[in-house]
Structure 1
């Protein structure tokens, strides 16, 4: 997986507080954990951990990405599944781990209510951004998860 090693080397040098926490290889899969700390927007001050499962056929298959931190977000469901088009139909072998990380950062700075996994959060963001912001703040302090 020389391509993955090159991507990993670039991740370690990148700014924006996104350290590579650890990686390991198990049965030809590489597991990577990345922490994202948004520096603007609704999620400012939050710390969000993601796991990447990279298959042996990477870059011909997108990594599987899960959010390990409970978050109230239109594009991340309560099980940690992430709705990011480059992880699905828009994946191309020229993309890499850094592209996914930048896509995740973008989800936190510009949540997308048009392509949601959490439909309730998307509706609140679309219809009442102030309430959405309050829900995000409560969720980040452990007081709200989007369920009634």
Structure 2
């Protein structure tokens, strides 16, 4: 085969191969209304595996669940100016649907979780609850979260995840 034909074939394989090098969509979140969504959870709900969700600076009053999606959720401004405030919820972030290392949470302050439930797992992991999952959590600050069981900041159960 000619080198140019071989290069074309290899390029085509990488483009159509599942889990290959193709990047997903970039979805933007801005509480002020300048993005695709104003809520992080709405962006996660609409995302497909491989998508990247970029969150503008601000405070997002919500709790989020990844629902097994392999997405990268990152702030554009870092944890000093981008906060997920889960006040009124047991857990601010939940990874309980077999998320793996392709699920990424990056650059947020996580606050306000209060795992004060009377049954498992609602008594564990106020900031983040991870069960049967192993997401990557990087560059995040966990503060002012509580739990009556274990892990006010975060709790991992039956997993290899490290916080």
User: When the two structures are superposed, what TM-score results if normalisation uses the length of structure 2?
Assistant: 0.24
Over alpha carbons, which structure has the higher Rg? 2
Which has more strand, going by share of residues?
Answer: 2
By relative contact order (CA 8 Å, sep 6+), the higher-ranking structure is 1
Which has more helix, going by share of residues?
Answer: 1
